Amino acid sequence: MSETRDRAAGGPSVAGIVLAAGKSSRLGRPKQLLQLDGQPILDIVLANAGRSLLANVILVLGGDADRIAAAIDDHGQQLIINPDFAEGQSTSLHKGIAAIGESAAGAIVLLGDQPQVTPQIIDRLVAAFHESGSDIVQPVYGGSPGNPVIFRRTVFPELLAITGDRGARDVIQQKRDAVLRVPFPDLSVPLDVDTDEDYARLQAAWAYR
């Protein structure tokens, strides 16, 4: 991954933050390591990010960090450990933002249990971010908004104000007039995994992709 690749999309760099620090308490085992075609879900997420136009990718781990880090490949990601992960998703988002550095114009927040987010989805969102100048860029899958979402650096203070086990949904709602929604009419909302039933649905969708 390089800034040269990212600038090919028409603007300054966009960083990726992969949130994968949760305890998977509802599942009872690390969902990051669930397998699809013999590959951990998180490894697929990182491979997709690594093949995209993102300048760099920051992986935030927390629960079972050593075990998870040992099971995934090196796709060029920078590993950050969040010791406060039990306090909620906001703490991982804060750690990721702090690791970005000053050169990135914005960051795309990727979830570590959404392997259906392809490099093509990421690249289209990055291109829209550069072309539009919007503060927030969000995909819309067949009419339903989803992830991942890009946030311009000017929005970082509002993201850093989030507390507890909350993501950026409230910020997106509060700044809805500043959100560019990019349509993906032929795609369904990427599945995530919180339960065994979710995993079964993802396996079925993966088999027919």
Q: How high is the pLDDT of residue 182?
A: 98
Percent of the chain with pLDDT over 70: 95
Q: How high is the pLDDT of residue 197?
A: 95
Percent of the chain with pLDDT over 90: 83
pLDDT at 2 over 80: no
Q: How high is the pLDDT of residue 165?
A: 82
Q: How high is the pLDDT of residue 11?
A: 60
Residue 82 one-letter amino acid: N
Rounded to whole angstroms, the Cα distance separating 129 from 127 reads: 5
Structural domain count, the chain: 1
pLDDT at 3 over 70: no
Residue 128 structure tokens: 């829209």
Helical pair 119-132 and 41-50, crossing angle rounded to 10 deg: 40
pLDDT at 1 over 70: no
Residue 180 one-letter amino acid: L
| E strand or H helix at 142 | none
Q: Which domain holds residue 62?
A: 3-207
pLDDT at 5 over 90: no
pLDDT at 25 over 80: no
Q: Per-residue pLDDT tens for 179-202?
A: 999 999 999 999 999 999 999 999
pLDDT: which is higher, 102 or 3: 102
DSSP character for 34?
-
Q: Per-residue pLDDT tens for 99-145?
A: 998 889 999 999 999 999 999 999 999 999 999 999 999 999 999 99
Q: How high is the pLDDT of residue 103?
A: 86
Per-residue CA distances from 144 to 34, 140, 182 (Å): 26, 5, 11
Q: Average pLDDT, stretch 149-171? A: 92
- The answer for residues whose C-beta is within 8 angstroms of residue 29's C-beta and 6 or more apart is none
Q: What is the mean pLDDT of the chain?
A: 92
Q: Average pLDDT, stretch 86-111? A: 94
Tracing tokens 């090196």 back to the chain, one arrives at 74
pLDDT at 206 over 60: yes
Contact yes or no for 121/51 (Cβ under 8 A):
no
Per-residue CA distances from 188 to 93, 116, 132 (Å): 25, 10, 24
What CATH number corresponds to the domain at position 138? 3.90.550.10
